[in-house]
Every structure is written in structure tokens, then in C-alpha cells.
Amino acid sequence: MTTIKGPGIFLAQFMGDVAPYNDLRSICQWVKSLGYQAVQIPTWDSRCIDLKKAATSKTYADEVKGIVEECGLSISELSTHLQGQLVAVHPAYDTLFDGFAPAAIKGDPTARTNWAIEQVKFGAKASQHMGLTAHPTFSGSLLWHTFHPWPQRPAGLVEEGFKELARRWLPILNYFDECGVDVCYEVHPGEDIFDGLTYEMFLDAVQQHPRACLLYDPSHFVLQQLDYLAYIDYYHERIRAFHVKDAEFNPTGKQGTFGGYQSWANRAGRYRSPGDGQVDFKSIFSKLAQYDYQGWAVMEWECCIKHPVQGAAEGAAFIDSHIIRVTERAFDDFASSGTNIAANRKLLGLD
């Protein structure tokens, strides 16, 4: 077993236009003062990193890594969540997701897809340059608009959707394999990979590709009413990244999992800061330690009530208090009889 690394923090929700949130060095100094040991870097934010430059210049990648290390931190992972989302976009979402794309390719779905694929590959090479082995991202979606089967889905629709998703991702997965980096899909509503079964369908479509791994985030499973502890039992061998994010589900006589088009604060299912929701993190950390998870525990702040600065300040201590220093010996070793093969055979009645 391995002691989980942490606490880490995902910088995406904290970047801003005023200090200390407006450049990598300043925000790293800030999170270090809160007790964090690592940062997960959003590669779409130029205030943190120039992703293309980090992929094409080992010297620049080392400079970015050096800034983080000078602040007393490590880089847990680089993230391409927004770029991965654009690898596969159904036309119904073109206008909304164009907001994630550079101005020059807005309104051009083909160019946007090609840009996204290139960006995610940049994430692989930049990760390799920095000595990282896990890379969180989204899968994108061609099928999400059909997740509720009304009207009835035509026969073969789901299979064709995953076939196309695999066609786009297989070359990316192969490139990650060349770079020695795992793709960690965040299983998330709005993606075609949104639960265990859809992940399995994707794995089948990409021939069980060894680099098609997982980012584990229990908050999304609370909102789906999925057993997030049993999920670890099923998929622990593929879990390579971990977001510590809380959530709660409080159904009423007026709304349930779909939320009634309400704002986040008014939904039955809503995201909360770690410790403020319903996630059983003690059991999660125990299971991940038991299954020898070797990555980082990274706080992702998404709370509809609490201020992000308070959430960040509380998050480091919360994660630290849940990390289990794994034991190197059995608790009853003191009672060991120090037996040997001959004694064992005698106990079995064989001699």
C-alpha cells in the first residue's frame, strides 16, 4: 500500500485578474501559505502556462516546473478539461462550447475539433517534459442530448456514438502512450463518459486501451445517486487522479436528480466545499489507500454557498486530516510465533 500524496489544489477556479490570483508564481505562493503541497494546472489559462510552448520546449516546461518548485510545491497534473470537451461536441452545443475555443476558430466545428485534439496532445508532451504520468481531461460528448430515452433512441445510435468517440480518441491515446502518460477522464455529467457503464462502453470501443484511465470525483456520483464507494472497487486499477470535491443530494416533492432548471443553490443536487456535503471521504481515502492509489488528492473547489477563499483555506487541512499513513506491518505482528515450514506442516498434520 502507498500513502496518498497531498494536499493538492486545482487552480482553475481560483485564477483571476488581481493578485495573488493573476499569475502562476503569486497563486502558488498563496496556496503554499494555506498548506498545500501541489497544484493541478489548468492548461487553457495563459496566466498559468503556455501549453504549446511547454509541449515544444523542454526548457520552457522546466521553467514552469521551476516556478512551482521555488514556491515549495509540486505539479500534481496538467489539465486539459476544456480542450478535451471540444474533442467531441454535438451541434446542439456548438454555440455554448465555442466559448472554450480561440476566437479564430469560433463557428468552425471542424477546426475546433482539430484544435482540441492538438491541444490535448500538447498536454501529453508537456506532461512528459515535466515528468508527470497522469493527465486529467474530459471526453467530450456526441450522445449526451439523448441520455434520457425520449423519444426512443434508434437501434445502434449509442454504439455509433461510441464508435466515433473512439475514432477521435484512439490516436490521442496512442500518443499519450508514446509519452508515457495516462489520460484520466473525469467521469462527469455532460460527457459521454458519465458513469461506470459508459466508461466500460468507451473502453470496449478503444480496445481496452491501457492509457484510457480515470479521474475519480465522488461529487458527480452523489448527484447521479451512484454508489461511489463500490465504483472504486470496480475501477480502482484505472484510477490515476482524484478530485476531492463534496456534494449533497436533497430531493423534495418538487425536484430530484434533474434539478428543475434551478440555479445551483436551489437544486436538490449541488456541489459543496469538502466537509460540507454528504460524501464519505473517510471511506474513500481508506479504499484508495487499500488499493494502492499512488497519485495526489487534489481539492477542486466548486461550492454554491461558500466563498472560494474560505474553501481553499479549509481544504488543505481537510485533505491532510484524511490522508492515511499506511502501515508497514500487521497490527498483530507482536504475537507472531516466528514459525517455519516444518512447523507449518506439523500444524497441518502432514508430518
Domain ranges of the chain: 5-347
Which H or E run includes 39?
A: strand 38-42
Low-confidence ranges of the chain (pLDDT < 70): 332, 334-335
Number of H helices, E strands in the chain: 13, 10
Q: Tell the CATH superfamily of the 5-347 domain.
A: Divalent-metal-dependent TIM barrel enzymes (3.20.20.150)
139 and 202 Cβ atoms separated by less than 8 Å = yes
| Cβ-based burial of 317 (10 A; exposed 0-12, middle 13-18, buried ≥19) | middle
Determine the pLDDT at residue 334: 64
Determine the pLDDT at residue 119: 98
- Residue-wise pLDDT for 276-335, tens only, equals 999 999 999 999 999 999 999 999 999 999 999 999 999 999 999 999 999 887 776 766
The set of cell numbers assigned to 3 is: 500513502
Q: Give the span between the Cα atoms of 119 and 208, in whole angstroms.
A: 23
Return the residue matching grid coordinates 465555442.
98
Strand ranges across the sheet with 212-216: 74-79, 38-42, 5-10, 296-299, 239-244, 212-216, 182-186, 134-137
129 and 58 Cβ atoms separated by less than 8 Å = yes
SS3 assignment for 68-103: HHHCCCEEEEEEEHHHHHCCCECHHHHHHHHHHCCH
The set of cell numbers assigned to 252 is: 423534495
Determine the pLDDT at residue 273: 97
DSSP letter for 141, please.
Answer: B
Return the residue matching grid coordinates 478530485.
243
- The pTM (predicted TM-score) of the whole model is 0.95
Q: Give the span between the Cα atoms of 217 and 244, in whole angstroms.
A: 7
Q: Give the span between the Cα atoms of 329 and 130, in whole angstroms.
A: 34
Determine the pLDDT at residue 49: 98
Beta bridge partners of 272: 246
Determine the pLDDT at residue 35: 98
Q: Give the span between the Cα atoms of 213 and 10, in whole angstroms.
A: 19
Q: Interior CA angle at 183 toward 39 and 61, to 5°?
A: 50
Give the strand pairing for 269-272 and 246-249: antiparallel
Q: Give the span between the Cα atoms of 262 and 255, in whole angstroms.
A: 9
